[in-house]
């Protein structure tokens, strides 16, 4: 964010990056690779070995226990229903052109294809 009405972003392109600044409101889209796992580098692994993992609890950050976890969730699951899907199946055999014609007729009869 740059001030109240602007945004700065970096776009990855084929051989580098482009930095842009735009005024708000703005729509941002990302590609699927944004969430692909990547293998750590050798230097990244060495750097991490020297670090300690710090765990913070709700008490450490002063969180209101009435607002976290299951009691603090705004969504409560009251019931879970399993729906069984019943599908009609039929194996058609014969000459390909006859089977194709029969399939179209059956799909039209079931309103899965428009007639005509």
Query: Strands (DSSP E) along the chain, which ranges?
Result: 6-13, 16-23
**What is the spatial distance between Cα 16 and Cα 53, in angstroms, rounded to a whole number?**
33
d(CA 76, CA 102) in angstroms, rounded, equals 49
Residue 98 pLDDT > 90, yes or no? yes
Range from 9-23, 26-40, 51-65, 88-102 carrying the lowest mean pLDDT: 26-40
Distance CA 76, CA 91 (A): 44
Q: What is the pLDDT of residue 103?
A: 92
pLDDT of residue 1: 66
């Amino acid at each position: 964010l740059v001030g109240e009405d602007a945004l700065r972003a970096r776009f990855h392109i084929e051989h580098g990056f482009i930095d842009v600044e735009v005024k708000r409101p703005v729509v941002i889209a990302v590609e699927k690779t944004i969430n692909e796992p990547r293998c750590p580098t050798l230097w990244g692994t060495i750097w991490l070995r020297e670090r300690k993992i710090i765990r913070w609890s709700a008490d450490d950050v002063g969180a209101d226990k009435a607002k976290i976890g299951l009691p603090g969730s705004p969504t409560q699951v009251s019931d879970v229903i399993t729906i069984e899907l019943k599908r009609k199946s039929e194996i058609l055999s014969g000459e390909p052109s006859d089977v194709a014609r029969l399939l179209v007729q059956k799909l039209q009869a079931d309103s899965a294809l428009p007639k005509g």
